[in-house]
């Protein structure tokens, strides 16, 4: 998400061309639509007690909250950048730090969701015990602690070097705030650690589920669905990695090709690798769960879509 904020700021500094308002509309409109979709999903999760008790729905709800805040903050920063609204350093710091924390938590949450599917398939008899309500929330708290480590270190360095709360003379972004090399080193280190860790967890769970699926005692259908879910998490992780590279690509193409082409390429990268993954991931994940999607469709259409009584199956 901080990469989203940084990309938004870098892009919009160069986006003030004749198509600027149109491009801004094309970014803000789908973001607002998916904010509504995410809001309905969160509302749906709150309407059934089982959705608040089962680990997979708790983690899904956590992903929804993180991605919703992610999109909302990004839209706000994008509008500020397009409108040329300059922001105080401390306010910008809070937004950038929150964005980085949300980005890390979103990535780490994928590992929790993959581990939950791993336990469900590989240890079905102990699934309810291992992934109970308390342990799931404890795992979420650990994810937030890990996600905030880099942010706290950057805050300490920032206030020990430049505590003045002055107005930025450029758009709010990590580049405008963190100009020292130490910030780049910290960002690269934490990003690499988190992506390697989450990649290992997802690949391990995918391989483990695939191995168990070959045994006669395994529920083939459940294992197949679980492997598809973990594969979806791997794709989400890949899109997250691509969003990190957007800033690098923008700088490279802005130097090497003409201005108009650079703006168009940066806009496409911004939409494809930053906007769409955050908007579509929760929707795709929610649609794959028939029980949840049935209720979601009912609330999304304000009760116009008639739904038969839902029986929640408390197994994998």
- For residue 31 the two structure tokens come to 């973001």
- The residue-averaged pLDDT of 133-140 equals 92
- The residue-averaged pLDDT of 198-224 equals 77
Residue 312 in this model has a pLDDT that exceeds 70: no
Least confident of 29-43, 152-166, 215-229: 215-229
Type and span of the H or E element at 19: none
275: buried, middle or exposed (CB in 10 Å: 19+, 13-18, 0-12)?
A: buried
Residue range 233-250, pLDDT digits in tens: 777 777 777 666 665 665
Q: Do residues 284 and 293 make contact, with C-beta atoms less than 8 angstroms apart?
A: no
CA distance 257 to 177: 27
Q: Which of 249, 252, 175, 151 is nearest to 9 (CA)?
A: 175
The matching CATH number, chosen from 1.20.1070.10, 3.30.420.40, 3.40.50.12780, 1.10.3470.10, for 2-300 is: 1.20.1070.10
Residue range 9-26, pLDDT digits in tens: 454 444 444 455 666 677
Locus of tokens 């300059």: 86
Q: Helix, strand or coil for residue 17?
A: coil
Average pLDDT of the chain to the nearest whole number: 76
Residue 257 in this model has a pLDDT that exceeds 80: no
- The residue-averaged pLDDT of 38-60 equals 86
| Domain segments of the chain as ranges | 2-300
- The residue-averaged pLDDT of 51-80 equals 84
Residue range 87-128, pLDDT digits in tens: 788 888 888 888 888 888 988 888 898 888 888 888 888 888
Residue range 158-174, pLDDT digits in tens: 888 766 556 566 667 77
What residues contact residue 272 under an 8 Å CB cut-off, 6+ apart?
none
- The residue-averaged pLDDT of 186-214 equals 84
Residue 314 in this model has a pLDDT that exceeds 70: no
- 137 — pLDDT class (breaks 50, 70, 90): very high
- 146 — pLDDT class (breaks 50, 70, 90): very high
The reported pLDDT for the residue numbered 142 is 94
């Amino acid at each position: 998400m901080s990469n989203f904020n940084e990309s938004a700021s870098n892009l919009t500094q160069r986006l003030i061309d004749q198509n600027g308002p149109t491009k801004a509309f094309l970014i803000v409109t789908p973001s607002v639509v998916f904010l509504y979709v995410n809001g309905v999903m969160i509302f749906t999760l709150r309407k059934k007690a089982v959705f608040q008790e089962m680990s997979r729905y708790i983690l899904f709800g956590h992903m929804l909250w993180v991605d919703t805040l992610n999109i909302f903050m990004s839209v706000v920063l994008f509008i500020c950048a397009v409108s040329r609204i300059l922001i105080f350093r401390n306010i910008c710091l809070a937004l950038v730090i929150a964005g980085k924390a949300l980005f890390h938590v979103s990535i780490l949450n994928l590992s929790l969701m993959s581990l939950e599917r791993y336990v469900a398939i590989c240890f079905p008899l102990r699934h309810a015990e291992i992934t109970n309500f308390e342990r799931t929330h404890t795992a979420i708290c650990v994810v937030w602690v890990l996600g905030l480590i880099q942010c706290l270190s950057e805050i300490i360095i920032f206030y020990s070097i430049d505590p003045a709360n002055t107005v930025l003379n450029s758009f709010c972004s990590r580049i405008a705030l963190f100009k020292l090399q130490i910030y780049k080193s910290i960002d690269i280190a934490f990003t690499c650690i988190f992506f390697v860790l989450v990649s290992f967890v997802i690949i391990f769970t995918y391989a483990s589920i695939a191995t168990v699926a070959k045994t006669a005692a395994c529920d083939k259908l459940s294992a197949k669905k679980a492997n598809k879910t973990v594969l979806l998490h791997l794709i989400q992780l890949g899109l997250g990695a691509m969003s990190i590279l957007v800033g690098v690509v923008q700088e490279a193409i802005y130097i090497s090709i003409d201005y108009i082409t650079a703006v168009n390429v940066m806009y496409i990268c911004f939409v494809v690798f930053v906007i769409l993954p955050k908007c579509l991931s929760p929707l795709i994940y929610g649609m794959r769960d028939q029980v949840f999607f049935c209720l979601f469709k009912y609330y999304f259409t304000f009760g116009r879509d008639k739904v038969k009584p839902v029986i929640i199956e408390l197994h994998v």
